[in-house]
Amino acid sequence: MPAKTIAPIDGLTPRQVQVLRHIACFCDRQRYSPTIAELAGKMNISRSTVFEHLGELQRKGLLSTCQGKARSSRLTSRGRGLLEHLDAAGPEPEDQPTGGVPLLGQIAAGLPREAVENVESLSLESCFGLGGDLFALEVSGDSMIEENIEPGDYVICRRTNVADDGDLVVALVEEDEATLKRFYKERDHIRLEPANANYRPIRTNHCRIEGIVVGLLRRL
């Protein structure tokens, strides 16, 4: 029987293949998917980097996830077929440089949600300059509408793990849920403040800052 042909996947990097392999092995062993933190620890890379790779794998149709449900990442049939093909014949593709600011997917401006979404690219150099520390997120939810941040807007963020009181931040809450809120450090906890009277602040001792918002784009 002739070997099964796998269509080439543009821009797939060796690191993304490694992420795919780790998820496949973990799911086969545990019957559920690893968290972003578990993948980051296993591969000795940052959670932000894992987040980007997961989104890219989903965009390429190699990985699927159930929106709003933790530990729901699964290899698609195409993803399984790719690993089988790579195991059977040939080296993994090399890294290829990409341009623009990565659009990592959606950020919840409502209740937190699992931080794994699609990845595209926005060319924003003329507005914000070049730099690998910039990324973009599409807003979902309405918890920041009183600051004129609406669902479907894009927030442009600068990657950092520190924030000052009052900064508008992208925060990971309880390891894997991302949200867009104002950051305030209280005496014994972190307060993530919405800008909508229908939402209560999120108070937590388990919060990791992934970026500070530096700009906003809106489709007309």
- Dig out the tokens for 61 from the structure: 């149709």
Across 153-182, average pLDDT = 87
Q: What percent of the chain has pLDDT over 70?
A: 74
Report yes or no: 159 and 169 within 8 Å, Cβ to Cβ. no
| Model confidence band, residue 119 (pLDDT cutoffs 50, 70, 90) | low
How many Cα atoms within 13 Å fall on the side-chain side of residue 157?
32
Structure tokens at 5: 């042909």
Answer whether residue 145 shows pLDDT above 90: yes
Q: Is the pLDDT of residue 113 over 90?
A: no
Whole-angstrom Cα distance, residue 63 to residue 80? 9
Asked if the 101-217 domain carries CATH number 3.40.50.10470, the reply is no
The tens digit of pLDDT for each residue in 35-44 reads 888 888 888 7
In the annotation, is 126 catalytic? no
Q: CATH 2.10.109.10 spans which residues of the chain?
A: 101-217
Whether the per-residue pLDDT at 181 is higher than 80: the answer is yes
Asked if residue 89 has pLDDT above 60, the reply is no
User: What pLDDT, on a 0 to 100 scale, did the predictor assign at position 102?
Assistant: 67
Taken in order 52, 56, 62, 66, the sign of the CA dihedral is: positive
Residue in 73, 126, 143, 185 annotated catalytic: 143
144 pLDDT more than 90:
yes
Average pLDDT, the chain: 78
- Given the residues 60, 123, 181, 185, the one annotated as active site: 181
Give me the mean pLDDT over the 42-59 stretch. Answer: 82
Q: For residue 175, what pLDDT is reported?
A: 64
Dihedrals phi, psi of 39, to nearest 5 degrees: -65, -45
What stretch(es) of the chain map to CATH 1.10.10.10?
A: 14-88
pLDDT score for 166: 94
CB–CB of 73/19 below 8 Å?
no
State pLDDT tens for residues 128-142. Answer: 554 557 788 888 889
- Report CA Rg, the chain: 18
Whether 60 is a known active-site residue: answer: no
Rounded-to-10 torsion of CA 41, 43, 44, 47:
-60
Residue range 14-88, CATH number: 1.10.10.10
Q: Could you tell me which of 177, 166, 175 has the C-alpha nearest to residue 213?
A: 166
pLDDT at res. 2: 44
pLDDT at position 87: 77
Write down the pTM of the prediction: 0.50
pLDDT higher for 159 or 117? 159
C-alpha–C-alpha distance, residues 62 and 77, integer Å: 8
Q: Which range is most confident: 36-50, 98-112, 190-204? A: 190-204
